[in-house]
């Protein structure tokens, strides 16, 4: 069983709308949690990184939250753009990095 | 761009063959990690090299091996290719092996095994 579960598996939204992606993890303890954006056929690019003691981190239109008690994280995207279409991957790290399977987001005009 | 490059971009091999994939890390980054990403899945950790020594390994058989060179380049070698080895192979470089350091990913090599 994967230690990092993401939902939904895929999501389609209209340009300009907001959305929230979820990440549940069982890795414990952990040192940090990252969200990556991966365009099709490309390597992942870091969006946010939070240590276990942080509960929110923003990067422009991306805001990540972390609840260490419930072992949940979310990535909120505001005012979506067509270029936000990508896979978003949650990664929990201790000594190594445990990747979720990602949420495939499609933003339509 | 992350400053990490990989070659080749795409590769087609047949079952049983051997393949070498290459990665050039950011200058000054002493650590390189390799990942296998199957279609629709997240990357799976293969192994990590720090200062030319293996520094951790995921659940991959010995036919997956690697090398890291002093000039910040590295290789992933896969022997006796199997159909299930078809995937996107990613390398990521970082300053050192601490999990606090950000990993910068290359664009990947798409390997197809027929």
Q: How confident is the model at residue B12 (pLDDT cuts 50, 70, 90)?
A: very high
Residue A77 has pLDDT above 80, yes or no: yes
Q: Do A42 and B99 touch (CB under 8 A)?
A: no
Share of chain A above pLDDT 90, in %: 78
Residue B17 has pLDDT above 80, yes or no: yes
The reported pLDDT for the residue numbered A28 is: 77
Q: How many CB pairs under 8 A join A and B?
A: 54
Chain A contacts in chain B segment 51-80 (CB below 8 A): 56, 58
With beta carbons under 8 A apart, name residues in chain B contacting A4.
42
Q: How confident is the model at residue A1 (pLDDT cuts 50, 70, 90)?
A: low
Q: How confident is the model at residue A33 (pLDDT cuts 50, 70, 90)?
A: very high
Higher pLDDT, A93 or A9: A9
Q: Do A41 and B105 touch (CB under 8 A)?
A: no
With beta carbons under 8 A apart, name residues in chain A contacting B48.
96
Please tell me if residue A29 touches chain B, with a CB cutoff of 8 Å. Answer: no
With beta carbons under 8 A apart, name residues in chain B contacting A43.
2, 4, 90, 92, 105-108
Higher pLDDT, A31 or A101: A101
d(CA B50, CA A96): 13
d(CA A66, CA A76): 12
The reported pLDDT for the residue numbered B99 is: 65
Render pLDDT for B35-89 as a digit per residue (tens, 0 to 9). 999 988 899 999 999 999 998 899 999 999 999 998 889 999 999 999 999 999 9
Average predicted confidence (pLDDT) for chain B? 92
E strands present in chain B: 5-7, 10-13, 19-24, 31-37, 44-50, 53-57, 64-68, 73-78, 87-94, 104-105, 109-113
The reported pLDDT for the residue numbered B97 is: 72
The reported pLDDT for the residue numbered A42 is: 86
Render pLDDT for B83-109 as a digit per residue (tens, 0 to 9). 999 999 999 998 877 766 788 999 999
Please tell me if residue B100 touches chain A, with a CB cutoff of 8 Å. Answer: yes
């Amino acid at each position: 069983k994967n230690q990092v579960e993401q939902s939904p598996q895929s999501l389609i939204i209209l340009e300009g709308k907001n959305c929230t992606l979820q990440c549940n993890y069982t890795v414990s303890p952990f040192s940090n949690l990252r969200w990556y954006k991966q365009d099709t056929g490309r390597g992942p690019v870091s969006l946010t990184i939070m240590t276990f003691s942080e509960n929110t981190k923003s990067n422009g239109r991306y805001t990540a939250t972390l609840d260490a008690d419930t072992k949940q994280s979310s990535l909120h995207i505001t005012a979506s753009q067509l270029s936000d279409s990508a896979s978003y991957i949650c990664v929990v790290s201790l000594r190594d990095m445990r990747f979720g399977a990602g949420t495939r987001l499609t933003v339509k005009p | 761009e992350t400053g990490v490059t990989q070659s080749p971009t795409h590769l087609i091999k047949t079952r049983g063959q051997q393949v070498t994939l290459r990665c050039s890390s950011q200058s000054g980054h002493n650590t390189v990690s390799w990942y296998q990403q199957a279609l629709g899945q997240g990357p799976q950790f293969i192994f990590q090299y720090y200062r030319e020594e293996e520094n951790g390994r995921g659940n991959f058989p010995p036919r997956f091996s690697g090398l890291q060179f002093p000039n910040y380049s590295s290789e992933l070698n896969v022997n006796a290719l199997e159909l299930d080895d078809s995937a996107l192979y990613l390398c990521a470089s970082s300053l050192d092996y601490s999990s606090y350091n950000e990993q910068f990913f290359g664009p990947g090599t798409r390997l197809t095994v027929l």
